[in-house]
Structure 1
Amino acid sequence: MTSQVSKISGIAKAEVGTHEKRSGGHWVNDSKYNRWFGKIPGYDQDGYGWPWCAAFVAWCAAEAGLSALYPKTASCEAGVAWFKKQGRFSAYPARGAMVFFGRNGGTHTGLCIDFDSEWIYTVEGNTNADGSPEGDGVYEKRHRRTDAYVYGYGYPDFAEGIVSADPAWKDKAPKPEPKPEPKPTPPAPKPVSQIVALNSAVKPGATHAQVAELQQLLIKAGYGPIKGAVTRFYGPETQRAVARFHDRNPAYRSGLHDPRIGPKGFVALQKQAGRR
């Protein structure tokens, strides 16, 4: 889910490059943000020619659906007072904070998008690229945190908390989302056994499809050769091979030179031939 600070930061960044109107060779402080905010009597451009840096922040908040978290004002000093009244003003930067500049924070404002140990990174309206007094649009900028021009920061009450450099606000940082418990590895399926039962019809003198299998197993397990194999007939050659199996595995024979494979002997023979 998109965080509230990410939402307003993305909206502010998307406005970079937007300019106010120009007339008579000058920028005239009449922008879409002034028009959104409304007229202020006593200014040129029919009441729309007033400095609009604070209105830009309020517009971004409205676009993000976060109007309740930022002051709707054209006055930077009023913005400082709004945050201080809520006990949400700090000398330390925070992501998504409203940063105020100049004496008592009344000169200029913008959004602090990010910060590190040395810099704050902002999006500001009614400013410029070269630092001249005449602002003309929305720009991405950076300022040293220690710059005397930086007065302080108003902290919006984001639902997810706020990432701040202020030690007193450490416990207000967003809590990391708990990692989902790993799903237990399902047990490996048991291999299907290749061992088959002996058909009762398989005996000396019989003709049966499983006789061919018996002959193949006897040969593979080392009880061959079986002359004429592989066939379906349980003849003398097969009987001699079975007797050799019994000679080496006497637990499975019923008598001396037993020529008939039994059910248990057939299972043992399959295992000796490599079946599992």
Structure 2
Amino acid sequence: MSFSRNAFVNLLRNQTGYHEGRDANGNWNNIQRFSPETPGLEWSQGQAWCATFTAWGADELGARSSWPITASCYTAVQWWKKANRWTDYPVLGGAFYLGSVGQDHVGVVYAYDENSIYTVEGNTNAGGSYQGDGVYQRVRPRRGANSPYGYGVPAFDEGTVSADPKLGGTRTASVPVPAPPQVRVSAAHIAAAARRDPGLRQGGTTYPAEVNIVEVALAREGLLADAYAHDGSFGSLSVAGYARLQRRYGYSGTDADGIPGRSSLTRLGKAHAFTVID
């Protein structure tokens, strides 16, 4: 079965900035897209999802037989070992596992050098927590405290690249980053979300992928707290932030009601590298 390292790593890296949902009190709640989108792991919704995130990536590429489809880091480690695809050295595109027996956390290595691994991980945070809030790219030590217990060795189409002397002994390696796609946002979708999302339950969404782009731009403008800029819900705080943006742009009255219009959204897009359509 075909399984491209570059496609897998970049699929996961493209999720960077995604965040799980929040409960009625505004706390992160482990509700995310990856459990329901991975057949067999729907039951894991609401639980720690670092392993589910990596399984989701393999499933998306039709490579379920080449990756442990499990929500358990410990079970995944045993899967790699049983398949005789386990090493103590970094593997490009491979899974790394943290904890005394690899039970605590997992992510995927997109680059490594003699001292560090560069990773993409779900259910972590900017500080590297094992129980975080979203998808982040991290730098972790190869050796010593907080270094990995070990690594899974996937059977990639491109072959294995690893620091393991038995697997080639490549000292440094990285997966190339593709040219970024043009980011498009529908003005009609954003306006619809701004009208609908504030009336939904906490964290309710209408067009989360596009809303996330606009919310990040609002946060960069200083108009929305970063903690609320990645949930994909154009809730009351986003509406209020957008109203402040409209007033900043010189709008008033009903033209500054927080419902994005095409002209203001286009201006915001030019400042933050997204294109407004329709």
Q: TM-score range by the shorter chain?
A: 0.5 to 0.7
Counterpart of 2:88 (choices 85, 88, 91) is 91
The C-alpha deviation readout for 1:134-172, integer Å capped at 9, x for no partner, is 410000001010033311100001133111000011289
Quote the offset at 1:107 in angstroms.
0.2
Distance, in Å, in 2 between the alignment partners of 1:129 and 1:50 is 20
Matched residue SS, 1:27: coil
What's 1:27 paired with?
A: 28
Q: Secondary structure at the match of 2:8?
A: helix
Q: Distance in 1 between matches of 2:62 and 2:7?
A: 9
Stretch deviating more after TM superposition (26-35 or 57-66): 57-66
Name the CA distance, whole Å, in 2 between partners of 1:63 and 1:11. Answer: 9
The percentage of aligned residue pairs carrying the same residue is 41
Distance 1:5-1:80 versus aligned 2 partners, 3 A rule: same
Partner of 1:116: 113
Alignment correspondent of 1:170: 168
Trace 1:249-268 onto structure 2 (pairs within 5 A): none
In 2, distance between residues paired with 1:164 and 1:112? 11
CA contact (8 A) 1:27 1:134 kept: no
Aligned partners of 1:11 and 1:64 also within 8 Å: no
Cα distance in 1 for partners of 2:130, 2:81 equals: 28
Aligned AA (1:168): K
Give, in whole Å, the separation in 1 of the partners of 2:78 and 2:131.
26
| Number of aligned residues | 166
Counterparts of 2:162 and 2:131, CA distance in 1: 31
Paired residue type of 1:154: G
Work out whether residues 129 and 139 of structure 1, in 8 Å CA contact, stay in contact via their aligned partners in 2: yes
Please state how far the C-alpha of 1:67 moved relative to its aligned partner: 2.1
SS at match of 1:120: strand
Q: TM-score, normalised by structure 1?
A: 0.56
Write out per-residue CA displacement over residues 172-224 of structure 1, whole angstroms, 9 at most, x where no aligned residue: 9xxxxxxxxxxxxxxxxxxxxxxxxxxxxxxxxxxxxxxxxxxxxxxxxxxxx
Deviation at 1:130, TM superposition (A): 2.5
1:170 partner letter:
G
Higher relative contact order (CA 8 A, sep 6+): 2
Decide whether the 8 Å contact of 2:58 with 2:67 is kept in 1. yes
Query: 1:220-239 maps to which residues of 2 (within 5 A)?
Result: none
Question: RMSD of the alignment, in Å?
Answer: 2.2
**Greater C-alpha radius of gyration:** 1
Runs ≥4 residues deviating over 6 A: none
Q: Are the aligned partners of 1:77 and 1:105 in contact in 2 as well (CA < 8 Å)? A: yes
Instruction: Encode CA deviations 1:54-104: one digit per residue, 9 max, x unaligned.
Output: 000011112223222110000000000000001110010010101101120
State the one-letter code of the partner of 2:112.
F
Q: TM-score, normalised by structure 2?
A: 0.56
Conservation of the 8 A alpha-carbon contact between 1:122 and 1:141: yes
Letter in 2 for 1:96: G
- 2:12–2:120 CA contact under 8 A, matched in 1: yes
Q: 1:76/1:134 Cα in 2 relative to 1: closer, same or farther (>3 Å)?
A: closer
Aligned residue for 1:7? 7
